[in-house]
A and B are shown apart, each in its own frame.
Chain A
Amino acid sequence: MKRRDFIRSSVSAGMFTGAAFTLGSYGALKAADSTSSFQLPYDMVAIRGGEPGEMFDRGIASLGGLKQFVKPNQTVVVKPNIGWDTTPEKGATTNPELVSAVIEQCKLAGAKSVYVFDNPVAEWTRSYAYSGIEEAAKKAGATVVSGKSEGYYQNVSIPKGKVLKNAKVHELILESDVFINIPVLKNHGGSTLTIAMKNLMGVVWDRQYWHSNDLHQCIADFATFFQPDLNIIDAYRVMKRNGPRGVSAADVVTMKYQIIATDMVAADAAATKVFGMEPNQLRHLVLAEQSGVGTSDIDALKINRLTLST
C-alpha cells in the first residue's frame, strides 16, 4: 500500500467517522513500510563544514543514495521552508542550493515529477522569488506549485490527535508517492524552534486554529498523522534570534550543519543540540515522542558523522 492510498483512506475517514479502524491499519502499514522496503546503513547522517549541496550529496550517498527513498517513476514533493519574502542570507528560508541538490538527486533516482511548494506566511510570490527557491527549483527541473489557495487543500482527520483532530492539507501531499521535508533550523517566537515537525505547518491551510489551541500540541498531533519519508535539516545559516522572520542578517550565524534522517523526532533532537539547546526544552518534540512519532534518544541511534574540510 502506498502513502497516497493510505492518506486517501484517511481522507475518506475524515468524511465518515470510522477512525478507529483506520488507526489500526495505519500502525501496521508504517511498520511494514519501514522494515521490508529498504534497509538503511544508518539511522541518521550528520554533516558539517561543507557547502549545502555538497553536504547533502555526501550525506545521502552514505545512506545508499536517494534511490533508497525515491523509486523510478514516482512523484515526489519536496517541501522546503519558503515562509518569508527574505533573501537566503537572512536564514529565514531553506537554502536554495540544498533544494536544488535534493531535486537533482530525485531526478537521478528516476522521479517522474518533483513538486515544490509551501504555504508561506508572507506574500507567496515574493517569498518564492526572494528566497531564491523558485529559481533554483525550476532550474533543477522541479514543478513549482502554489500553496496559496484554499482550493488546493483537502480535509483530513487526525485520529491520534489530542487537540488537532482535523486539518486541511495540500492535495499534492495526498497525491504524491514520496515526501521529502527540507526545513531550515531557526529560532521561533511561538514554537521556540522551527525544524522538521514545525515545517509541516506549511502543508496545512487552517493554521490559525493551531495558534489558538496549544501550538506545540498541534504540531505534535500533526506529526502523528504525517511523517515525511525523509527529513533533511538545513542548518547552514541558523537564525539565532528574532525568528521566524528575523530582522536582519545580524540574527544569523553560519554554522554549516546538515542532518538527514527518516525519524522527524530524532532529526529535530539533533538539530536542537546543534542550535545549542536540549531536546527536552522543545515542547512539541517531547509531546511528539510521547505520542510515539519517534525517539529523541539520539545516543542510541546509529549516526554517521561526516566532517567536510573546506
Chain B
Amino acid sequence: MRQKHLRILRIIISVFFLVFMSALFVDYREFIPVSYAKWVLYPQLIPSVISFITLPAALATGFLLILILTFLFGRVYCSAICPLGALQDVYAFLSKKFRIIKRYKFKKALDYLRYPFLGLTVVFLLFGSMLVLNLLDPYSSFGRIFSDLARPGVVTVNNLLAAQLEKMEVYFLFRVDMGLFTWQTIFIPIFTAVLIIWLSVYFGRLYCNTVCPVGTTLGLLSRLSLFRIKMDRLSCTRCGKCAFVCKSNCIDIKNFKVDFSRCVACYNCITACEYNAIKYEPAYARKPVNAELSADRSKRNFIGKSLLLGMALTGLKQKSTAQDHDNLPPGDIPNNRQHPVSPPGSVSLKHFTDRCTACHLCVTSCPTGVLQPSFLEYGISGIMQPHMDYSVEYCNYECTICSQVCPTGAIMPLTVDDKKLTQTGVVHLILDKCIVVTDNTACGSCSEHCPTQAVRMVPFQNGLTIPELNETVCIGCGACEYACPVRPYTAIYVEGNPIHQVAEQPQTESLEYREHEDFPF
C-alpha cells in the first residue's frame, strides 16, 4: 500500500470507533450486545492498562498492541482509535469547512504544560488518587460527554418521536424517563466538552499535545519509534502544504523538522504533499534523533509542588455527618450512612475507586439507573465515579450488565448466580422512623421489594406487620431503601460494605400442600 492511502485508512478506522463509541455511550436500550462493545473497548489505552493489572492478562492486552504500534509508527492511537481524538477531528474538519481556521502553522511544543499535566496525573496516582487521570483521560472524558450530555438529548428526541409514533399505533420507540440528572457533577463533562470544542476549532489537536496525559505519554514513546514521519530535503519545495494541514502544528518547514512527539499520525501531510517529500522513514537508518528526555528545573520544581498538593488532598477524603436532629419529622432525620455502596463486582471500595476512570459506560448500561455519577460519596478524589444511588432506583436482582461492560475491571465480571450472593452492603432499619410505627398503617413496601426476604414482615399490633431483618441474606441491592415511603431520609437503608461480602443463600424449604377435594366455596 502506498503511504498516500494511510490517511483514508486512518479516517475509516477512526470513524468506525467514533460512531461505535458514541452509540455505545448513548445506548439506553441495551441495543448493543456487550460482546460487541468489548471489541471497541479492547484497545482503549487507560482502561486496558488498568484491567491488565486487575484481570487475567490475556483479556486485557489492548494497551500492549497500542504500545507496539506506537513504538513502530508513533501515536497511531491518537488519530485512529481514541474516540476523543476522532471527535476533535470532526470539530477541526467543521472549523476548516466554515473557514474559522484556514490553515495551520508550526508552533513550538508547550512543554511547560504537557509535562506538568502528565506529572500531576502520575503524582496523584502514586498517592492512590485517580482524580487527575479521570479528569484528563480522553476515553473517559469522551464517555462522560456522551453518557452525561448526549444521552439525555437522545432520550428527549426519542420521547418526542415516540409520542408521535404512538398516535399512529407504532410502539417500537417507547418513552423513557430521563432519571436523575446529576447536577453536582454535570459541570465536569460540560467543561470538557466546551474545552474540546474550543481547542479543536481554533488550535487543532492542542488538547492532545498539552492536556492529555495519554498523548504526552505516547509522545514520549514515539520519540523512540522505529518509523517516523520525516521531510526529505531534496524533494521538498518548501511549499508549506504539509504544515497547513497539520493539526498538531508540529511540521517545522524552516528547519525541515517534524516534532514526532506531537504528531498524532493523521497522515494529512503525506496526502497533502505533491512531491512525496514527507513520509514515514526508518528512524535509525541515518543519525538517530537526539531525544530530549532530561527533566529540567521547572519540571522538578513542579513535581515537588504536586507532591505537596497530593498529600493535602488525601486529607480531604472524609466528610462530616454528625448533626443535631431531635425535633425533626422522621423523614428529615438523616441516615448515618458511613460508606457509599459500590456496584456488585467491584470487590471493595478501594478496589473500585483505585480502578474506575469514571467513563460512565456502566451508568449508560444500567437498565434501572441506580448507578449514578457520585459527587462526594467517595471523597473528592472519587468525584464522578459511579455509586449506587438508592434514592433513584435499586439494583436489579437478575442483572450483571455493569460488571460485563466495565472496561477497567473496577467492576469485575460476575455471573448472575454470584451476583445474587454478592453483598455490596447491609440493610439497616430505624424502626422509630418506620411508617407502620409512626402512622399505625400497613405498608410492607420494603419487604415487598426485597428479593431475598432479608426484610420480612412480622406481626406488630392491631393486625399490622412491621419489617424484621435477616442481614445474612441481604445483598445490599437497595430495593427496600428505594421503596421506603419515608422521605427524604428513609427508615430503612443500606450501609455500604467497604469490602464486599458473600451473603447466605435465602431459605428454600418446600411447602406442604394438599390438593383441595373440592372448591372451597
Contact = CB atoms under 8 A, between A and B. Distances in A.
Given A143-B169, A149-B176, A123 B368 contact: yes
Contacts of B450: 245
B184 to A, nearest CB: 23
Interface in A104-132: 113, 121-123, 125-126, 130
| Chain A contact residues: helix, strand, loop or mixed | mixed
Nearest to B444: A190
A215 B511 contact: no
Given A213-B441, A215-B441, A253-B511, A248 B174 contact: no
A240 B513 CA distance: 10
Nearest to B435: A212
B443 A151 contact: no
A71 interface: no
A47 B506 CA distance: 34
Q: Which of B29, B171, B396, B398 has the most CB of A within 10 A?
A: B398
Contact of A189 (B448, B451, B485): B448
Interface string B440-472: 011111011111110011000001010000000
B448 A149 contact: no
B441 A123 contact: no
Interface string A238-264: 001111110110111101000000000
B452 A247 contact: yes
Contact of B521 (A126, A208, A298): A298
Contacts, number: 130
B290 interface: no
Given A125-B367, A244-B448, A299-B521, A144 B171 contact: yes
| Chain B contact residues: helix, strand, loop or mixed | loop
A44 to B, nearest CB: 9
Chain A interface residue bracket vs B: 35 or more
B485 A190 contact: no
B442 A191 contact: yes
B338 to A, nearest CB: 27
A154 B384 CA distance: 35
A46 B294 CA distance: 89
B510 interface: yes
Contact of A211 (B29, B485, B519): B485
A189 B396 contact: no
A1 to B, nearest CB: 24
A62 interface: no
Contacts of B368: 123
B396 A85 contact: yes
B315 interface: no
Contacts of B442: 190-191, 214-216, 283
Interface string A218-256: 000000000000000000000011111101101111010
Nearest to B159: A151
A215 B506 contact: no
A265 B254 CA distance: 92
B163 interface: yes
B171 A143 contact: yes
Contacts of B448: 121, 188-190, 243-245
Given A189-B457, A240-B511, A250-B511, A123 B399 contact: yes
Contact of A274 (B398, B451, B520): B520
B296 interface: no
B367 A123 contact: yes
A191 B444 contact: yes
Contact of B485 (A148, A208, A252, A276): A208
Interface in A128-177: 130, 143-146, 148-152
A208 B459 CA distance: 22
A214 B441 contact: yes
B519 A148 contact: no
A30 interface: no
A102 interface: no
Nearest to B30: A125
B244 interface: no
A305 interface: yes
Interface of B: 29-30, 159, 163, 169, 171, 174-177, 367-368, 396-399, 435, 439, 441-445, 447-453, 456-457, 463, 465, 483, 485-486, 506-511, 513, 515-516, 519-521
Interface of A: 46, 48, 85, 113, 121-123, 125-126, 130, 143-146, 148-152, 188-191, 208-209, 211-216, 240-245, 247-248, 250-253, 255, 269-270, 273-274, 276, 283, 298-299, 303, 305
